[in-house]
Amino acid sequence: MSNVITAKNLSLSYGLEEEVIKDATFIIKKGDFVFITGPSGSGKSTLLKSFYGNLQPKEGSLVIGGLDMIDIKKSKLQELRTHLGIVFQDYKLINEWTVEKNVVLPLWISGYSTEVQSTQARRLLHHVKLSGKEDKYPMELSGGEQQRVGVARALAKNPFLILADEPTGNLDEYSSNVIWDLMENACQQLDTTVVVVTHKIPMVFNIAYRHFTIDERGSVYEVH
């Protein structure tokens, strides 16, 4: 199995502030489902941000999908991001766009034809049980539905890596279970690597997963 994320003695910080993540070394392989947990402010989201190039490593090395993230060129980073699926706690949907347009955003960015976009949107919305809501706007949907749109968008281009930052943080139990099911399916059926930052690992989880935790000092450990 190939390595999707390789971190070696990785340290992360915001500007000149104290390091949030210290000396982290780990490898995440293709098809892995990884939970990253830890107390508030431990640096879970910071670590995830570095995976999609929102934060540059301060020390050590970080390789994502074969690309060295240190001083990565803007064009390379843009290219990498078009192959990632990212899910946020606050959904980050574009409110003035319809559900369908939101879902096909990664395809639109990559220049796919409108026919491909439309077919893929229908398929994905059916997959996340939102058929018939193509023309709705995000604000017309419930939180759980908005997050399902977010997951559909993340899956739109069959990414090699899905990064999710507290994807169920704002959702009730039923909606959370739907999101976990979608993530499991993506990992199991598409062999996509999934990295999820969460406060709490779901009680019922049907596939094998790895669990990393970050302590208050910013050290990353693999629990199992």
Residues that bind other proteins (CB under 8 A): 52, 54, 77-82, 84, 86, 92-97, 105-106, 109, 153
- Smaller CB separation from other proteins, 43 or 202: 43
Among 115, 129, 187, which Cα is nearest to 155's?
187
Least distance (Å) from other proteins to the CB of residue 77? Answer: 8
Q: Tell me the backbone φ, ψ of residue 211, rounded to 5 degrees.
A: -130, 115
Nearer to other proteins, 59 or 79 (CB): 79
* Beta strands in 41-172, from DSSP E residues, in sequence order: 59-64, 67-68, 84-87, 161-165
134 in Cβ contact with 98 (< 8 Å): yes
Q: Give φ, ψ of 6 to 5 degrees.
A: -125, 115
Looking at residue 42, its amino acid is S
Q: How far is the CB of 148 from other proteins (least distance, A)?
A: 17
In the bound state with other proteins, the residue whose beta carbon lies nearer, of 124 and 202, is 124
Q: Which of 4, 3, 28, 33 is nearest to 189 (CA)?
A: 33
**In the complex, least distance from residue 1 CB atom to other proteins, rounded to whole angstroms:** 25
In whole angstroms, how close is the CB of 90 to other proteins at the nearest point? Answer: 10
**CB closer to other proteins, 22 vs 153:** 153
Question: Which residue, 80 or 202, has its beta carbon nearer to other proteins?
Answer: 80
The alpha-helical segments, DSSP class H, found in the chain are 44-51, 74-81, 99-103, 105-109, 114-127, 143-155, 173-190
Query: Tokens 């992360």 — which residue?
Result: 12
Measured from the CB of residue 81, what is the shortest distance to other proteins in angstroms? 3
* Pairing label, strands 33-37, 59-64: unpaired
